[in-house]
Amino acid sequence: MDSVILITIIIVIVGLTFDFINGFHDIANAVATSISTRALKPRVAIGIAAVMNFFGAISFTGVAVALTSSIVDPFALKNGEFVVLCALISAVIWNLMTWVAKMPSSSSHALIGSIAGASVASAGSFGILNWSGFTTIIIALIISPVIGFSVGYGIYSLFKFLFRNKKLVQTNRRFRIAQIGTTAMQAYAHGTNDAQKTMGIITLALIASGLQKDSTIPFWVQVSCAAAMALGSSIGGYRIIKTVGTKIMKIEPVTGVAADLGSLSVIMSATLIHLPISSTQVIDSSLMGVGTANHKKEVNWRTGKNMLVTWMITLPCAGILAAIVYWVSAAIFL
């Protein structure tokens, strides 16, 4: 078998593995609020999330198409398919490390940083990066959690005004029912953005290996990535659910619905304008925005600080890790 085709097959396998890990790593953020308030039992919440993740993933391709050329020009990559493989391996390693550490790290940061790091290692120069597209992605990754915080703050402030004369117990009972819908919508939004990243990277590998001539996302890539993420989601990231659902703030149904609405609106907006963002960052920052609007002392800022540090170091650390993986692998196989 031709070595290029063999590497491409391995890329597809590792890419789907990344999506599988992304599913159980990131889905925790989408279901944590409904589980912590007992609106849904864990198995039910994760089951709903897995199904909605799949449908979200097959609904759009704009982010995937944009990602195939936003970081690097696939036609300019030296050993392109090998670069993509090393990047995916690096992203998988980083995701597993942060999962073990119970930290809701950003799979988006890990993947984008890894692609950049492996590409630079291959070319021996930062000039290989498409700085216009790469900078746009970085700005989106930085701004989106700020917007998520602001929207979450605004929605809960509106709730406080609208339900100021209602008894909290009665309000929470109604919002607990509403959480079923917001959990499903949150998972759908997650699928529309996160699964597309791997679709774009696999398509990038197909272009770099000469097996495809444009950035159109093949249907088999779309369905397989969606299925891998849905399968991963069905397993559930219980370790991270505990962190998000209990260690940021005490979540009640009304705050959970506000946080879900805040984050899913930001994620869907990014999907519609073809921008890859971090669902993890947006969901968690929306939750902190809601907590601040409710009472800032309710937010565990130490946990928030730890998350912020993890988010900040993920992209550069994943990039460095990918460069190391590339150098070591190249020394052995190239």
CA distances from 91 to 94, 106, 136, 181 (A): 5, 10, 21, 32
Residue 67 lies in a domain: yes
Output the six-digit token pair for 281.
């960052």
Residue 334 lies in a domain: no
Question: Are 54 and 227 a contacting pair, CB within 8 Å?
Answer: yes
pTM: 0.88
- Into how many domains does the chain fold? 1
Q: At a CB cut-off of 8 Å and minimum separation 6, what does 227 contact? A: 54
Question: Are 225 and 58 a contacting pair, CB within 8 Å?
Answer: no
CA distances from 85 to 93, 286, 325 (A): 12, 33, 10
The residue among 175, 147, 124 whose CA lies nearest residue 283 is: 147
Output the six-digit token pair for 56.
């979200």
The residue among 246, 242, 257, 248 whose CA lies nearest residue 173 is: 257
What per-residue confidence (pLDDT) applies to 203?
Answer: 94
Give the DSSP per-residue string, 262-293: HHHHHHHHHHHTT----HHHHHHHHHHHHHHH
Residue 330 lies in a domain: no
Residue 185 lies in a domain: yes
Work out the burial of residue 169: count CB atoms within 10 Å of its CB; fewer than 13 is exposed, 13-18 middle, 19 or more buried.
Answer: exposed
| C-alpha–C-alpha distance, residues 45 and 57, integer Å | 18
Give the DSSP per-residue string, 22-52: HHHHHHHHHHHHHHHTTSS-HHHHHHHHHHH
| C-alpha–C-alpha distance, residues 159 and 254, integer Å | 8
What per-residue confidence (pLDDT) applies to 1?
Answer: 57
Q: At a CB cut-off of 8 Å and minimum separation 6, what does 97 contact? A: none
Residue 242 lies in a domain: yes
What per-residue confidence (pLDDT) applies to 304?
Answer: 74
**Phi–psi pair at 129, nearest 5 degrees:** -75, 140
What per-residue confidence (pLDDT) applies to 56?
Answer: 94
| C-alpha–C-alpha distance, residues 167 and 177, integer Å | 16
Residue 224 lies in a domain: yes
Residue 332 lies in a domain: no
Structural domain of 25: 3-325
Output the six-digit token pair for 108.
């988006």
Residue 310 lies in a domain: yes
What per-residue confidence (pLDDT) applies to 248?
Answer: 59
| C-alpha–C-alpha distance, residues 203 and 211, integer Å | 9
Output the six-digit token pair for 310.
């993890």
- The runs of H, that is alpha helices, within 124-236 are 131-162, 168-208, 219-235
| C-alpha–C-alpha distance, residues 316 and 138, integer Å | 11
Counting runs of H as helices and runs of E as strands, what totals does the chain give? 12, 0
The residue among 7, 190, 189, 16 whose CA lies nearest residue 92 is: 16
Instruction: List the chain pLDDT tens, one digit each, 334 residues.
Output: 578 889 889 999 999 998 888 787 677 777 878 888 888 887 888 888 889 989 999 999 999 998 888 999 888 888 888 999 999 999 989 988 887 776 767 888 899 999 999 999 999 999 999 999 999 999 999 999 999 999 999 999 999 888 887 776 678 888 999 999 999 999 999 999 988 999 999 999 999 888 898 889 999 999 999 999 988 887 765 555 555 544 556 788 899 999 999 999 999 999 999 999 988 889 889 989 999 998 767 777 777 787 788 888 999 999 999 999 999 999 998 8
What per-residue confidence (pLDDT) applies to 249?
Answer: 63
